Structure 1
Amino acid sequence: MSRPDAGDPAPEVPARDLVRWGTVKAHRRLEAWTGTIDGTRPTLLFVLHNSGGGTFRYAKAVARLVRGSANVIYGIGIRERRLILCRNPDFRDAGISFNLPAEIPDLISTAGRLGVARVNVVHALGFEARLAELLLAWGLPYDITLTDYHLAAATPHLLDENHRYIGDASRTTTRRDRPGFVDNAERIVACSRHLAASMREFWPDLDIVASAPIDAPAAGYAGAVWRPVWPGAPLRVLLVNASLRLKGARTFARAAEIAMANGLPLEFHLVLDATHPQRVTVDLANVIQYDSDQHQLSSAVASVVSQAKPHLAWFPFEAPETYSFVLSDALENRLPILASAIGAIPERLHGRRLTWLMPPDTSPEGWLAMLTRLRTFRLCLRPVRKPIGDLPPARPFFPDVFMEPLRGWRQHPLP
C-alpha cells in the first residue's frame, strides 16, 4: 500500500559542509568530535529519518534530559543508501556521510571510536531495511522510541488516499509487516498514552511503555492566562503550522474565508514553517502570517504571543497527533486552547482550565460557531474535555528509566 501521508521523498542533505567518509576532512572532523566527547560517559546513538520536524525536536529533548550522564550523537538515514553521523540533527550538513552498505565496517568502527554503547531508534522511515542490517552488524543493545505509526501501519499518520484520518475503528486495517528489528529491541516506548494504546492494537504481543510528557515545565503548564476580549474588538486567534494538511489547513482556510465573507470579528495570527513544501497559502485580510522555519518555530510563537497578544490558540488537527510540540508551545505560553479531540491531545490537556475540545470532524462552520461563542462570552465557558480513563497509564521514562541499562557502564578512555 502506498503512503499518501508520507510526503515527498526526503530531500538530500545540503552539501555545504557535509564530508564523505574516507576524505581528509572526514577524519579531521572525527578527530574534533572525539576531542569533545566525554570518555567517562557512554555515548548514545539516536537514529532518525531525514525529514526533521517534531521527530527531531523529540530526539533533542530526550538528549537534553540525558546530557548529564551520556553523550549523544545522531545518525540520519537517507533512502536506504546513506547514513550521516552528526552532533546536531538540525545541522546534519556538518556531519560525516557514509555510503551503505559498502562503508558499514567503517561506520561501526567510527561509532566505536565515539564510545557508542547503545542505540535509540527514533525514526526509520525510508531506512528500515538498511537499519536492520546495521543493527545486526553492530550487535549493540537498542531501544525503539515510537513517535508515529510508521513501523506498524502503511501510513505514518493513518491517513487515507485523500489525506484524511481513517478513524479509530479502522486503524489496524492499515497494518503492515513488522520489521524484524522491532522484535529484538530491548524496550519499546511510545511518546504518549494514546500512541501506546494504538500500537498495542497493532502489536498485542509486545510490551509498549507509555512515556509521560518529556517537556512539561515545572510551573504554569497546566494553567492558562485569561486575556479580556473588549467589546467591539476582534477575538485574536493564534494558529501554529495550520497551513499544513495534517494540522488542519483545509479547515482553517475555509473557516477564514467564511469569517471574512461574513464580517465575523475574528483575527487569525498564523505562525508557520515557510520552508515546508506542503504548506497551504491563505491570502486574506483577516489572516496575519508570520513566516518562520522548523528550527525557530518555538521562539517565533513566543514572539507573536508577546506582540499580538492572542486570546487563545486554535488547533483544528485532522490527523491523530502523537505528541504535538506546537501544542507544547501554546502550553508554554499559557494560552487558552481550542483543539481537536484527537490522538494525544486530550491526555495532554486533561484537567486544564480554559481548554475546549471539539470532534476532529467538526466542520469549518462548527469551529467558527465555537470561536464566536467564546468571543461572546469572553472565554468564560466551562472546559470541554474528553475522557482518557481507557488509556494505559503513563510512566516517567526519560531520563532515569531510559538510562538504567547503562548504570553499570565502565569508564574507559576513547581510542
Structure 2
Amino acid sequence: MTRALVSIVIPVFNGSDFLGEAIESALAQTWREIEVIVVDDGSDDGGATRRVVAGFGDAVRLIARPNGGVGAALNAGIAAMRGDWFAWLSHDDLYHPERIARHAEAVMARPVPSVSFGDVDAIAEDGGFVVQYRHTRGFEDDGVVGNGIRAVLEGRLNGCAMLVPRACLEAAGGFDPGLPTTQDYALWYRLAHRHPFVPVPGALTRQRLHPGQGSRMARHLEEASLLWTTMTEQREPPDGTPQERLRRLLHVDATLRHSPYEGARLFLEERLREALGAFPVDVVLAGMRAGGEATEALRRLAAAGGRIAGVTLLDEGPSSAPALSLDPPSLAWPATILRSGGPVRSAATRLEAALLAGDAPLLAVLDGGAVPEAGMLREGLASVAAGRTPGWLSSTSRGAGFGGILSRDALTAALAGTPPKAGAMIAALARLGELAMASDTAPAPPLPGSAPGVAPPSPHPAAPDFPLRLARMPDRRRPTRLLLLHAWGGGTLRYARTLGEAIGARVNVLYGWGVEERLFRLSSIAPDAAEVEWDIARDGIEGLVAALHGLGVDSVDVLHSIGFDRWIEPLLDALGVPFDVTLLDYHHVANGPHLTDAEGRFVGDAALDAPDHPARRRGPPRLLLRAAARRIACSRDLAWRAGRLMQGLPVMAAYLPEPGRPRGFAVHAPPLMEGQPLRVLCLGRLASHKGFSDVVAVANRIADRGLAVQLLCLGEDEATLPLHLQQSGVLRALGGYAEGALNLEVCRLRPHLAWLPFRAPETFSFALSDCMLQGLPILATGIGAIPERVEGRPATWLLPPEESRPETVVAWFERLMADRLQTPPRWLPTTHLPPLVPAFYETRYL
C-alpha cells in the first residue's frame, strides 16, 4: 500500500494552554508520512499561541488569519495541505501514536474513496480519563455508499477521530463557516451521501472536556436544532409509504430523544404526529366511565397523533343508557358502550367483542386510571405502525391498569388458535409486555436557561442612613460603567443587556433607568431587575449622585433617557464623569423616536433637511449631545440621518457585538414542496411603524386570490388581527414568545421565509438579528439599517420603501414560490453611508 501523505490540521484561537500537547501527539505518529498545520484563527492572547507553535520549529507550519471561526480556519488549513488525506485535531485534544496509521490502513486500500471514523476517550481538563465513547460498536462495515447517514444520525462521529480524502472534502464544499458549531456534522452528512464510512475500532483520540467549549454553549443547542431539523426533513422519502416514513423518523428519534436539542425534538414530534395520521386506530376504553375520564384518554391519544376511527367503552356501571357521544372541544367521537348488564355478560367476552368491533389497522386499549401521557402513546403507536413490533405496553405505576397498542394483524393471529378465543386474546394482551415496553430512559436535560423565569424582586427605597448594597457590588480594582436606558423594554433593553454581557468581563456594569420622570432605579444584575430606587421628584438627585459616587461610577453611556429626560443633564453634570451618548433611535435628535407620521410611515429624507418640519427639534442640539465625549450610532444609517439633524456634531457608527454573529450564520431554509403553502413568519409586535396595516392588507389580497400563502404572526395576539383572516387560515396569530424560546417556535413552525414589513427607518432591528440567527430567508423593506446589515447575505430580498406596497409584496411571494425560493438575492446600495468603526466595542469603547 502506498503510504500517502496525511495532513493534520489544528485550528486554534487563544489555545496556548493545551496546544503544545496536541502538537506533540500529532508529531508522535507512527505513520511518518504526515505534516502538521496549525491555523491561528486570530488569537488575541498577546502572542502566547504563536510562541507555542514557534517552539516546534520547522516541524509545524503556521497559518495566521483573522478570526472567522472553526469552519473558516479548517478550510484555510485544507487549502494549504500538501497531503491527499485530511485529519483534524482540536488544539485541546490528543492523538494516540497509532491514530493515523490505523485509520490509513483501514481506508487507503479501499476500491472507492471512503471515510473512516473511530472511538473516542473523553478526558478531563487535567487529562484524567472520564468515559469512552464506542462509536464503532454495532456498525457494519459493508462498504455501501449511504451507510454513513446512520453514523451521522446516531451521533457516532467525532471530527477528530476521522480520516477523509482531501478530494472528497473539496467536492462536498468543505466546512461551512456560517455554521460556527455544527460545521462538522453538516459536512459529514453531505459526505455520507457520497462515500462509504468505515469503522475503525479502538479509542485512538482523546477529547478533552472543559468549560467554554463551543459545543457546550446555548447557541450551539439552537444551531444544532436547526441542523437536525433540516436533516430530519431530508430523511422523509417524498414517494415512500407511510410505514417507510415512520421508520425513518423513528431512526432519527432514537438519537434526538436523548439529546438536548429541544427545537429539533419538538419538530420531530410534530412530524411523527403527522405521519401517524395515515394509520386509523380503533380504541377500547376499559375501567373508566364516559365523560371526563374517557374524554381525557381520547384527547391524549389524539394529541399523540392517533387518528381515531372508532371508540368502544367497556362500562361496569349501573346505567342502562345504550349509547354515548363524547364531545371534547373541537372533537367528536361517537362511542359504542358495552355494559355489564347487557346481553354480553362476561368481561372477557365483552373485551373480545370490543376488540373485534372495528377494522382499523391499529388497536389501542386504555385502562382506567392509568392512561399514559401523549408522548408515551406516540412512542407505542409509531413502533407498532412502523412494523417494529406487533404490540406495545406502557410502563405505568398508577393503579392496576395499562395502555396497550396492538396491530390488527397481531390480534388476528392471537385469535386464530383454539377456543376459548377470549382467553387467547387476553393472553395476547398480557404478552404485550414481552413484545415492547415504553421507554424508561430519563428525559433529555433541559436547555440552559429554559427553566421558568423568577420574577425579579421589587426594588427597595434607598435609605440615606445605611450603606447601599447590591447583589453584585463593584470590584474596586476595575472601572465601573453606568448604562442608562428607559423602562419600556424592547430593543433598548436587549441592547443594554447584550452590551453589558460583552463588556462585563472587563468592567463593572450598572444599569439605571427612570420611571415617569419621578423614580430612578438601579441594578447590578440586569437592565430589567431593579434592586434599589430613588424618588427623585420628591427628594432631588443629591442622594442618587452620592450613591453613584460611592459605587465608583467613573463613566456613563446614555442609551436612552425616556422616563428621565428632565433629570439626565443635571445628573451627568453633578456626577462630573465622562459620558457617551449611544443613539438607538431618534429621540435625542427629533420630535419622536421613529421619524414617522400619524400613520406610522417614514416622513421622508427631505423632511430631515427642512428646518420647520414638525419632525425636527427646534434650536441647537440639546446639551446632552453637545457635552458628550462621543456620540455613537448603532448603525451606519442612523449615523447618516442623525448626523444631518445634529447640525455638524460628529457621530460614529459601531455595531453591537451580538452573540452568534447573525449576519454570517448560514441559511437553513426548509424545502418548499409541491402543494405546500408558503409559510411566512412575521416576527415581533406589529406596531404601526412595523407594518401592521400592511400585514392585514397583504393577508386580504392573499385570501381574495386564494393563494397558497400562510402568514404566521409570532408576537401578535388573536385580538389584534381581523377574525375573518384568522378563520380563513391565511393569518395565524401565535401570541408572544420568550426570547430564548424562538428557536423552538421556528423548529415547530418551519417557516420558509421571514417577512419584515418596516414602514420607518429601523435603526438596528433585533427582529432582523433573530431571523438571521434562525437561518431564515428574508423579504424586507429596505429602509434604515436593513440594507447595510444584510448586504451580501444569500436568500435575502429587499424592497425599496416606495415599492413596499401590498400588491408588490404579494407579487414577490408568488415569484418566490414559483422559484422555490431560489430567486437571486436583491440588496440595496449602501455606498452613501458613513463607514463603520471596526471592532469598536472590542478595542475602543472602554
- Using the size of structure 2 for normalisation, the TM-score is 0.43
**Which residue of the partner structure matches residue 674 of structure 2?**
231
Which residue is 1:281 aligned to?
Answer: 721
Counterparts of 2:533 and 2:662, CA distance in 1? 40
Question: What is the identity, as a one-letter code, of the residue corresponding to 2:544?
Answer: L
- What pairs with 1:6-405 in structure 2 (closer than 5 Å)? 17-22=458-463, 30-33=468-471, 36-100=473-537, 102-172=539-609, 173=613, 174-176=615-617, 177=619, 178-215=621-658, 217-218=660-661, 221-241=664-684, 243-272=686-715, 280-283=720-723, 284=726, 285-292=729-736, 296=738, 298-361=739-802, 362-395=804-837, 396-403=839-846
Greater CA drift, 174-183 or 98-107: 98-107
Q: Partner amino acid for 1:390? A: H
Equivalent residue, structure 2, for 1:412: none
CA contact (8 A) 1:222 1:352 kept: no
Does the aligned pair in 2 maintain the 1:356–1:383 contact within 8 Å? Answer: yes
C-alpha separation in 2, matches of 1:101 and 1:402: 35
Aligned-partner Cα distance in 1 for 2:570–2:519: 13
- Give 1:386 shift: 0.4
User: Are the equivalent residues in 1 in contact too, given 2:662–2:769 (CA < 8 A)?
Assistant: no
Give the conservation status (yes or no) of the 8 Å contact 2:596–2:689: no
Deviations 1:71-116 (A, max 9, x none): 1111112233221112345534443234246241211121122221
Counterpart residue type for residue 91 of structure 1: D
Separation in 2 of the partners of 1:43 and 1:242?
A: 35
In the alignment, is the contact (CA less than 8 A) between 1:46 and 1:120 conserved in 2? yes
Change (3 A) 1:240 1:68: same
Q: Is the 8 A contact 1:62 1:399 kept in 2?
A: no
Change in 2 beyond 3 A, CA 1:113/1:317: same
SS of the equivalent of 1:238 reads strand
- Percent identity between matched residues is 33
Q: Which runs of 5+ in 2 are unaligned?
A: 1-454
Task: Give the Cα–Cα distance (whole angstroms) in 1 for the partners of residues 717 and 512 of structure 2.
Answer: 26
Larger Rg computed on CA atoms: 2
Residue 273 of structure 1: how far off its partner (Å): 6.1
Equivalent AA in structure 1 for residue 502 of structure 2 = L
Q: Any idea what SS the aligned residue of 2:555 has?
A: strand
Q: Deviations over 1:32-89 (max 9, x none)?
A: 43x6432221111111122111011111111111011111111112233221112345
CA contact (8 A) 1:222 1:353 kept: no
Q: Which amino acid aligns with 1:77?
A: G
Q: 1:262: how far off?
A: 2.4
Question: Which amino acid in 2 is paired with 1:305?
Answer: V
Q: Give, in angstroms, the shift of residue 162 of structure 1.
A: 2.7
Contact 1:43/1:118 (CA < 8 Å) preserved in 2?
yes
Name the CA distance, whole Å, in 2 between partners of 1:166 and 1:345: 18
Q: Would the aligned equivalents of 2:655 and 2:840 in 1 still touch at CA under 8 Å? A: yes
String of CA shifts for 1:372-391, please: whole Å, max 9, x gaps: 11011101111111010111
Q: Is the 8 A contact 1:98 1:107 kept in 2?
A: no
The secondary structure found in structure 2 opposite 1:348 is helix
Bigger mean CA deviation after superposition, 335-344 or 57-66: 57-66
Tell me the distance in 1 between the aligned counterparts of 2:584 and 2:721: 28
- In the other structure, the counterpart of 1:8 is none
Q: Greater CA deviation, 69-78 or 216-225?
A: 216-225
Indicate if the aligned counterparts of 2:470 and 2:531 stay in contact, CA closer than 8 A: no
CA shift for structure 1 position 15: 11
The amino acid that maps onto 1:208 is: V
Q: Indicate the SS of the match to 1:391.
A: coil
Contact conserved, 1:76 with 1:89, CA < 8 A, in 2?
Answer: no
Q: 1:218 Cα deviation (Å)? A: 4.5
Q: Answer whether contact 2:684 2:714 (CA < 8 A) is retained.
A: yes
- For CA contacts below 8 A with separation 6 or more, give which structure has more relative contact order: 1
**C-alpha distance 340-330 of structure 1, shift in aligned 2 (>3 A):** same
One-letter amino acid matched to 2:586 = Y
CA contact 1:292–1:300 (8 Å) conserved in 2: no
C-alpha change, 1:88 and 1:253, in structure 2 (3 Å) is farther
Separation in 1 of the partners of 2:542 and 2:569? 15
Q: Which runs of 4+ in 1 moved over 4 A?
A: none
Letter in 2 for 1:105: E
Kindly indicate whether the alpha-carbon contact (under 8 Å) linking 2:560 and 2:583 is maintained by their aligned counterparts in 1: yes
Task: Return closer, same or farther for 1:306/1:95 CA change in 2, 3 Å cut-off.
Answer: farther
Change (3 A) 1:224 1:71: same
1:141–1:185: 8 Å Cα contact kept in structure 2?
Answer: yes
Contact persistence 2:758–2:781 (CA under 8 A): yes
Indicate the larger mover: 329-338 or 391-400: 391-400
- Does structure 1 retain, via aligned residues, the 8 Å contact 2:485–2:513? yes
Query: Secondary structure of 2:715's match?
Result: strand
Moved more, 321-330 or 259-268: 259-268
C-alpha offsets along residues 133-178 of structure 1, whole Å, 9 cap, x if unaligned?
1111111110000001111111210011232211122124322142
Contact 1:43 1:115 in 2 (8 A): yes
Distance 2:604 2:576 in 1: 39
What is the CA–CA distance in structure 2 between the aligned matches of 1:36 and 1:134, rounded to whole Å? Answer: 21
Partner Cα separation in structure 2 for residue 290 and residue 120 of structure 1: 36
User: Structure 1 residues 338, 175: CA separation in 2 closer, same or farther (over 3 Å shift)?
Assistant: same
What SS does structure 2 have at the residue aligned with 1:291? coil
Q: 1:325 to 1:229 in 2, by over 3 A?
A: same
Q: If the length of structure 1 is used for normalisation, what is the TM-score? A: 0.85
